[in-house]
């Protein structure tokens, strides 16, 4: 549902970027998905990176299937993707 990319941040803290293409959806659906992803990043992803002492830029691109995912499924997928990418980089 999501493509996740990490890179070193030029600033001393982690940042989150979102790309949510239209995929033939309405603006209401698109904004709901953006709000969900932003909240997951703010509450889960960025704090987990801060606890580890990492300053990374996290870029999340939503694929068409992300519109069908609920909050829990999106949170799980994003969390697992960031964990995997962080463990690969170490």
- pLDDT of 88 > 90? The answer is no
pLDDT digits (tens, 9 = 90+) for 11-39: 999 999 999 999 999 999 999 999 999 99
Which ranges of the chain would DSSP assign to H, the alpha helix?
27-40, 46-52, 71-89
pTM of this structure: 0.92
- pLDDT of 89 > 80? The answer is no
How do the domains of the chain map onto residue ranges? 2-89
User: What CATH code would you report for 2-89?
Assistant: 3.30.230.10
**What is the C-alpha R_g of the chain?**
13
d(CA 54, CA 35): 24
């Amino acid at each position: 549902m999501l493509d996740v990319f990490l890179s070193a941040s030029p600033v001393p803290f982690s940042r989150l970027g979102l790309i949510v293409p239209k995929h033939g959806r309405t603006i209401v659906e698109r904004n709901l998905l953006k709000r969900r992803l932003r909240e997951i990043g703010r509450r889960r992803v960025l704090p987990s990176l801060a606890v580890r002492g990492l300053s990374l830029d996290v870029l999340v691109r939503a694929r068409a299937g992300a519109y069908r995912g609920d909050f829990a499924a999106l949170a799980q997928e994003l969390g697992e993707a960031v964990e995997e990418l962080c463990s690969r980089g170490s």
